[in-house]
Structure 1
Amino acid sequence: MNQATPQVGTLTGTFTQLLSSTRRGARLARLLAVTELRSWGVPQDLTERAEVIVGELAANAVLHGRLPGRCFRLTFVLDPVAGRLRVEVTDACGDLRPPIPPADTEPDPLRPGGRGLLLVAALADHWDCVPSPPSGKTVRAVLSAPPEA
């Protein structure tokens, strides 16, 4: 009697690392992202977009979500079948949630900062911010690999 073996699930890659809430930790997050994604064989376009997104989200976690003595967490979840990568940065300060700018808003060219999330929105398919109990928040960005020609 021949029976098909059911698929238990698709293989996904996951990576999680706690990093210090310092400029050095934010830089290390970006470097770890590139190293880990290359080791998984992620396409270069996806790796490069993820590198910029990790840099922006980690910098925001250090600048705006830092509490003394608390780290931030960097997480990747790769679904190679769907060609999708989820980048998550979790910090300890849940009361300061990033505003999601309207799609038709142009950044103020004279303002010294505030363009990081516009970059994230431009490079990711989708991004959002969710609570991370007990008192933190997680900013997530989903990226899809371009279809292969």
Structure 2
Amino acid sequence: MNKIIKLSYEGKDFGYMGMKKNGNMHVFYGGADKSDAVEFKQVEYPKRSNAYYYEVVKQSKHYLDIKATNSVLFADKPNISLAMSSIVAWEEVDGELHAIISGKDTTKSVSRSAADPDSTTLYGNLTFGDGNTCKVKILDAEKVS
């Protein structure tokens, strides 16, 4: 079943993870209504049993990833194959969604902007250091009329 991601920040509701076009890429943001929540298909990650790639259902072959230059979460498409790409997998750790690279926890997790408290754009920030980590609940997507 497809999944949606419910967010909270500092104990307060931060809506659902949504996706919007920003220039030439699609970025993920918090505060979306349930009807605007992006749906993901969890794709098995072979190097870690509880980690998954998160494929965007409405954008085939695009996955939740971290932009290397600015840590923004965006929809990325592998050039050749998912297994040979640099796209991160994700694992839920103590209610946080952590980025996994080469089978190891990077301690980068879904977070709010450290520089702009009003921004809803989501980042992959270091859990210890950058801070602003969001708590997540991975829920089964339901048909929203």
Q: TM-score, normalised by structure 2?
A: 0.23
Q: Which has the larger radius of gyration?
A: 1
